Amino acid sequence: YKRTLRNKYISTAVKYKLKIESIHCLFWDGVRRWRSDGCSPLQGTSSDKINCSCNHLTTFTVAYQEIQSHHEFMDVSQFISSLNNLMTCSVIVISLAVYFLVMIVCKQADIQGEKTMKCVLLPDNCPSDQQLYAVTIDTGFRSRPAMTA
């Protein structure tokens, strides 16, 4: 974009202020609830002066909430210590080690499951027969499924 900066002196610390206002015009519905149907704040409403417009006559109120946030960004390197970095790295290394151990155990269980899963040909099932049958027996997902015949 080859544009030059207008301000030659860019600050290293950034400050900003965020202000959020929530204004609701509410009326009593006569049952036990404040509702906002037909009532709304008018344009130009601020925290000093609130104007509500309702399309009916009833008891009404204003719900107002203001959230302010002030932040200053500075050089954070002074807050970072080697102890915190060491702790973070050790938690990551331990988590990865546990992950790989669980992955190895699961892979071995898969290999063992593939070894035990096989087809058993019945003696009266000759490959030259015109009709071949496959009988599948599902014993469930429990660790030691048992069947009796």
Residue range 104-144, pLDDT digits in tens: 999 999 888 888 777 666 666 677 777 767 777 776 666 66
Q: Quick check: is 117 in a domain?
A: no
Considering the domain boundaries, does residue 114 fall inside one?
Answer: no
Residue 102 has pLDDT above 90, yes or no: yes
Boundaries of domain holding 30 = 14-73
pLDDT of residue 78: 58
Per DSSP, the chain holds a count of helices (H) and strands (E) of: 1, 5
Q: For residues 62 and 22, what is the distance between their CA atoms, to the nearest angstrom?
A: 10
Query: How do residues 17-71 score in pLDDT, each as one tens digit?
Result: 777 888 888 888 888 888 888 888 888 777 778 888 888 887 778 888 887 776 6
In a domain, 111, yes or no: no
* 79 lies in some domain: no
Number of domains in the chain: 1
- Among 134, 131, 132, 135, smallest CA distance to 147 is for 135
pTM for this entry:
0.35
What lies within 8 Å, CB to CB, of 51 at 6+ separation is 41, 42, 44, 45
* Within a domain: 33: yes
Examine residue 23 and state whether it is found in any structural domain, yes or no: yes
